[in-house]
């Protein structure tokens, strides 16, 4: 396993559409392991392959149990919280009409957060790193992270979705970037 370098805004790869994964091979699993290690080291909650310079439709996420009160108190608790997961070739199958604003950061845009409107609930389908189908019914913070990461695979950054420039906030140096993705 290795921590990889995170690509920052301005790098063209963040603006390109990533390619579907065709082979679920050891190289893919190494990428996933490295992405999880990189995300953890950067204290992020999600990471997309273009953010480590790899133009493939792969994302990882790890939502802390206490990150979303609504979800952690839901019964039964979401199986997608509290552990790292990979999603390969993800597609959003369904998205709620209902939207909500929330604060997002991005590991590729250090020092800033923004208030972004996202679907409250999404159903996402993809595969795990072994090629096994994976279907995630997500709401709240997890739904937000998945939308953020799938945007990365399409060359979209959260700053593109801000309703106005004054929804972007610069962090003070000592402030932590709250749960960037």
Binding segment for Ni ion among 11-19, 69-77, 79-87, 173-181 (CB under 5 A)?
173-181
Instruction: Determine, following the binding rule CB under 5 A, whether residue 181 of this chain makes contact with Ni ion.
Output: yes
Q: Strand order in 99-104's β-sheet?
A: 99-104, 112-119, 168-170
Binding segment for Ni ion among 27-35, 65-73, 105-113, 166-174 (CB under 5 A)?
105-113
Of 50, 71, 68, the C-alpha closest to 59 is 50
Instruction: Determine, following the binding rule CB under 5 A, whether residue 106 of this chain makes contact with Ni ion.
Output: yes
Judging by beta carbons within 10 Å of its beta carbon (0-12, 13-18, 19+), is residue 57 exposed, middle or buried?
A: buried
- Do the Cβ atoms of 107 and 6 come closer than 8 Å? yes
Minimum Å gap between C-beta 108 and Ni ion is 5
149 noted as active-site residue? yes
Backbone angles phi, psi at 79, to 5 degrees: -70, -5
Binding segment for Ni ion among 24-32, 87-95, 101-109, 159-167 (CB under 5 A)?
101-109
Instruction: Determine, following the binding rule CB under 5 A, whether residue 49 of this chain makes contact with Ni ion.
Output: no
Instruction: Determine, following the binding rule CB under 5 A, whether residue 39 of this chain makes contact with Ni ion.
Output: no
Q: Which is nearer to Ni ion, 68 or 151 (CB)?
A: 151
Angle at 15 between CA 92 and CA 40, to 5 degrees: 70
Helix (H) or strand (E) holding 141: helix 140-153
Catalytic residue among 100, 139, 149, 176: 149
Q: Which is nearer to Ni ion, 21 or 181 (CB)?
A: 181
Catalytic positions, written as ranges: 149
Give residues in contact with Ni ion (CB under 5 A). 106, 181
């Amino acid at each position: 396993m290795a921590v990889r370098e995170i690509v920052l805004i301005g790098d063209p790869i963040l603006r390109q559409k990533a390619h579907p994964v065709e082979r679920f091979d050891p190289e893919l699993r190494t990428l996933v392991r490295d992405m999880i290690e990189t995300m953890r080291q950067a204290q992020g909650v999600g990471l997309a392959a273009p953010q480590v310079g790899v133009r493939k439709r792969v994302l990882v996420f790890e939502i802390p149990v206490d990150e979303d009160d609504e979800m952690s108190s839901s019964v039964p608790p979401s199986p997608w919280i509290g552990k790292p997961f990979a999603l390969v070739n993800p597609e959003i199958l369904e998205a709620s009409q209902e939207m909500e604003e929330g604060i997002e950061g991005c590991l590729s845009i250090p020092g800033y957060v923004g208030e972004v409107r996202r679907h409250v609930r999404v159903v996402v389908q993809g595969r795990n790193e072994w090629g096994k189908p994976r279907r995630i019914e997500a709401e709240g913070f997890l739904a937000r992270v998945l939308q953020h990461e799938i945007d990365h695979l399409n060359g979209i950054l959260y700053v593109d979705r801000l309703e106005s420039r004054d929804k972007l906030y610069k962090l003070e140096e000592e402030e932590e970037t709250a749960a960037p993705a």
